[in-house]
Amino acid sequence: MTARTLVWTGFIAIAAFVLMAASRLAILDPVENVTLNVTSPVQALMRGVTSPVADWVNNITDAGALSDENAKLRDENERLTSELARAREDAIQQQGANDLGAVREQFPNDVFVAGAVISRDSSSVRSIIAIDRGSADGVREGQIVVSEGRSLVGTISKAFDSYAWVTLITDPKSAVSAIVQESRAEGVVAGNYDASLNMEFVGQGAAVTKGDFVITSGVGGGYPAGIVIGRVSTVQKADQDLFQKVRVDHLASLPNIEHVLVLTSFESQKLEQP
C-alpha cells in the first residue's frame, strides 16, 4: 500500500464520518437543498431518457404490456376503495356521534399542498421520496402525506426550503397506529425491508379477515384518525404466538407514485408522559 493510497483511504473515512455528523446536526441542509435544486432538472432529464428503456424492461419482466392499463385501473381502484372506506368510517363515526348526541366532522379545515415526486431513494433498504414542495410552501416535518386517492403515503421526515423528504409507510422506520375498520382491532402498521406492510400487535382474539380495511387510529397523535392505509391481504394465527401475523396491501401505488398531497393543516402531536 502506497502512502498516497493511505492518504486517500484515510481522507474518505474521515470525510464519511464528518459528513454524517454534519448531516445529523443539520449543518448540511442548505447544501442539500441547493444540490437537489441544481441536479433535479438533470435527474428529470436522465429519468426521461431512461424511462422508455425501464418501461420496456419492466414490461418484459412483468410479462406483458398491460402495466399501463393496470396502473390506471389500480389508481381508479384506489380512489374508489378509499372512498368506500371513508364512507364506511363516516357511517361508523356518525353512529358513534349520534350515540353521544353530537356530530363532529373529521377534518373540518383540511388544507392540502400538492407536490410532485422529484427523486426517490437510491438504496434498496429505505423507502423515501423527495417532493418539490418545502418549508417555503408551508410543509413541515411530521405532516402527513396522502395520495390523490387520499390513502396514506407517508410522513414528511425532512423539510428543506424548496423540497421535502417523505418517508413512505413501507419504510422499515415507519410505524403507524392503526385499526381494522370492521372489527376495530388495534395494532401498528409497520414497514418492512421488502417494502411491504405488517400490522403488528394484533391480539389473537381480534377478528381480522382478508379484505378488511386498515385505517389510521389517531392513537399517539402522529396521524389523524380515519385515513385509509390499505386492506388485509393475509392473516396467520398460531397458538403459541401472542399476536396474529397480519399483512396489509397498501392502497396507494407507492413504487410508481408521481403526485402526492401534503396535509399541511395537521400538526402531529408528541404525547407527554403522564
Site of interaction with other proteins (CB under 8 A): 1-2, 4-5, 8-9, 11-13, 15-23, 28, 31-32, 35-36, 39, 42-44, 46-47, 49-51, 54, 57-58, 61, 119-126, 128-130, 165, 171-174, 191-195, 255
Residue pair 178/160 in contact by the 8 Å Cβ criterion = no
Nearest CB to other proteins, comparing residues 163 and 266: 163
CB of 171 to other proteins, least distance (A): 7
- Coil, strand or helix at 158: strand
Cell of 235: 392473516
What is the number of other CB atoms lying within 10 angstroms of the CB of residue 187? 24
Closer to other proteins by Cβ: residue 34 or 207: 34
Q: How far is the CB of 235 from other proteins (least distance, A)?
A: 19
CB of 21 to other proteins, least distance (A): 8
How far is Cα of residue 103 from the mean position of the Cα atoms in its chain? 30
What's the closest the beta carbon of residue 194 comes to other proteins, in angstroms? 4
For 212, other C-beta atoms within 10 Å of its C-beta total 21
- State the pairing for strand pair 175-180/213-216: antiparallel
Bridge partners of residue 198, in order along the sequence: 190, 247
Report the residue number, 130 or 227, with the smaller CB distance to other proteins: 130
CA–CA dist 69, 200 (Å, integer): 33
Q: Which is nearer to other proteins, 1 or 100 (CB)?
A: 1
Kindly state the smallest distance separating residue 74's Cβ from other proteins, in Å.
17
With the CA atoms of 17, 21, 22 and 23 taken in that order, what torsion angle do they form, in degrees rounded to the nearest 10? 100
> Cβ-count burial of 229 within 10 angstroms (0-12 exposed, 13-18 middle, 19+ buried)?
buried
To other proteins, the closest distance from the beta carbon of 46 in angstroms equals 4
Residue with cell 403507524: 176
Neighbours of 176 (CB within 10 A): 26
Nearer to other proteins, 113 or 129 (CB): 129
CB-nearer residue toward other proteins: 85 or 152: 152
How far apart are CB 262 and other proteins at their closest, in Å? 17
The grid coordinates of residue 7 equal 492518504
User: Smaller CB distance to other proteins: residue 42 or 100?
Assistant: 42
Cell reading at 206: 381480534
